């Protein structure tokens, strides 16, 4: 059984988007990038995915250069190719072409020896939707606090 170790989350994505569908994808990386990810030096803020020439790429995933990597280090913001089946890529591409939908990476994690990314098909929230989500979260927090204090 593979162990899963979460490295980075795109927490802002759940605030800014409605998540319609999630999919696990492998990531094509170089050795120093994998070592840097294992050290936890990864950031998903403002990242997105795009399909180009039948392949899916994740853009703006910042993987800090590995300290002992010297000349083998790559550009921290280079587009990373995501490893998915052709039919999955085509399905996501068609879905993302619909009005208001986009593809975003939600988190990056280690599953056994492999680096994986959760890609989500998401629809952007309006400002009033964000306020409503915040209000619901605050209400839930108050209910949990009241139930805890009641004991």
Residue 85 clears pLDDT 90, i.e. is over it: yes
Average pLDDT over residues 59-72: 80
**Taking residues 35-45, what's their average pLDDT?**
86
Q: pLDDT category, 120, cuts 50, 70, 90?
A: very high
Residues 6 or more apart whose CB falls under 8 angstroms from that of 103 comprise 48, 49, 50, 51, 56, 92, 96, 119, 120, 121, 122
Query: pLDDT band at residue 1, thresholds of 50, 70 and 90?
Result: low
Residue 72 has pLDDT above 80, yes or no: no
Q: Which CATH superfamily is domain 4-150 in?
A: Small protein B (2.40.280.10)
């Amino acid at each position: 059984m593979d162990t899963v170790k979460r490295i980075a989350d795109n927490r802002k994505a759940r605030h800014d988007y409605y998540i319609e569908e999630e999919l696990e994808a492998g990531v094509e990386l170089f050795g120093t990038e994998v070592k840097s990810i294992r050290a936890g030096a990864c950031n998903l803020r403002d990242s997105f995915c795009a399909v180009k020439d039948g392949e899916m790429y994740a853009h703006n995933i910042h993987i800090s250069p590995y300290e002992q990597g010297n000349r083998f280090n790559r550009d921290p913001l280079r587009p990373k190719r995501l490893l998915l089946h052709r039919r999955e890529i085509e399905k996501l591409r068609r879905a993302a072409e619909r009005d208001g939908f986009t593809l975003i990476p939600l988190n990056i994690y280690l599953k056994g020896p492999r680096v994986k990314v959760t890609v989500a098909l998401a629809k952007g929230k309006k400002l009033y939707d964000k306020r409503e989500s915040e209000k619901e979260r605050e209400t839930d927090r108050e209910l949990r606090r009241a139930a805890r204090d009641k004991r």
